[in-house]
Amino acid sequence: ICRGYFLPRMKLSENKEFICGWGAAFINITCTYPINKLMFRQMLHDVDSRDALKQLRSEGTFYLYRGVLAPLCQKTVSVSIMFGMYQEYQRLAEMLHPSINPTLNKFIAALLSGTTEAILTPFERVQTLMQDRAYHGKFQNSIHTFRELRPFGIKEYYRGIIPILMRNGPSNVMFFLMRDEASKILPSNGTWYGDLVSNFVGGAVIGAIISSVFYPLNVVKTRMQCTVGGEFVTFRHMLKVILAERGNKYTKLFRGVHVNYTRALLSWGIINASYELLITTM
């Protein structure tokens, strides 16, 4: 199932941004999946990090990487699209409007690349179900989960797409614009390892900021996607439900955010550093 999605079939010399984005995401997922699972449990069950860690320990190593196939498929292609389409949309705009303002071009390209990533919502949907212990006995693996959702129709695969769209485009805009500024500010001694450290720090700080800003959207998205079949509730309705459960305190939507930005520091540091290292060696 992953072979058709993992890597776009494109000429290496013309589309290295896609290839490098894929490689950077692959390195990242293998390193950060357990931390992501810990954060997920806090989002879903409204527990602190110690209780979430106890849950994972009690389930054992086998369940720690349960469901990794879906995010591996989704994230590698997602980051490939993120970097690759960002460049493609810029090139297209420059062809159609040669005099376009560079900053505006980057803004539009980032927004469109993030929106394009939303086609991979089914992978994020399956990952959510695989991480929820309520479905441990129902879904055997990612492929089995895809099959079990099929009778509910294509719409079921895209449950929770609204908060994903609200998150992807704006977060991409922030990432690429802030990334350009960081590259001008952060020092480099001209060596590959100096550049690697600078790119890691830049990606880490930017990723932590963005993931924290959009964290409440992920909380709502997670709750929306932890349902199989039944009514499709709106984003606004689910937000009201979650707020009611948490005493109508918006600050409680950020429960688990410290784990989230810790994961994002590592995750986006790895992605940014890996991408730049790969792009300069190809």
pLDDT tens digits, 185-205? 887 777 888 889 999 999 999
pLDDT of 256 = 80
pLDDT of 179 = 94
Is pLDDT of 8 > 50?
Answer: no
Query: How far from chain centre, in Å, is Cα 90?
Result: 22
48-57 confidence digits (pLDDT tens): 878 888 888 8
* Residue of higher predicted confidence among 170 and 75: 170
pLDDT of 133 = 78
pLDDT of 14 = 62
pLDDT of 37 = 81
Is pLDDT of 104 > 80?
Answer: yes
Is pLDDT of 252 > 90?
Answer: no
Q: Span 77-84, mean pLDDT?
A: 95
pLDDT of 10 = 45
* Confidence band, pLDDT 50/70/90 cuts, at residue 5: very low
User: The domain spanning residue 204 has which CATH number?
Assistant: 1.50.40.10
pLDDT of 258 = 84
Cα 182 to Cα 200: distance, rounded to the nearest angstrom: 11
Rg (CA), the chain: 19
152-171 confidence digits (pLDDT tens): 999 999 999 999 999 999 99
Is pLDDT of 273 > 50?
Answer: yes
If you search the block for the tokens 């994972």, which residue do you land on?
56
Residue 126 — left, alpha, or beta (φ > 0 → left; ψ -120 to 50 → alpha)? alpha
Number of domains making up the chain: 1
Is pLDDT of 91 > 80?
Answer: yes
pLDDT of 7 = 43
Compute the mean pLDDT over every residue in the chain, rounded to the nearest whole number.
Answer: 87
Percent over 70 (pLDDT), the chain:
95
Q: What is the DSSP letter of 189?
A: -
Is pLDDT of 27 > 80?
Answer: yes
Cα 43 to Cα 37: distance, rounded to the nearest angstrom: 10
Is pLDDT of 93 > 80?
Answer: yes
Range of the domain at 21: 3-281
Is pLDDT of 74 > 90?
Answer: no
**Cβ neighbours around 67 below 10 Å, total:** 25
**Cβ neighbours around 262 below 10 Å, total:** 17
* Confidence band, pLDDT 50/70/90 cuts, at residue 46: confident
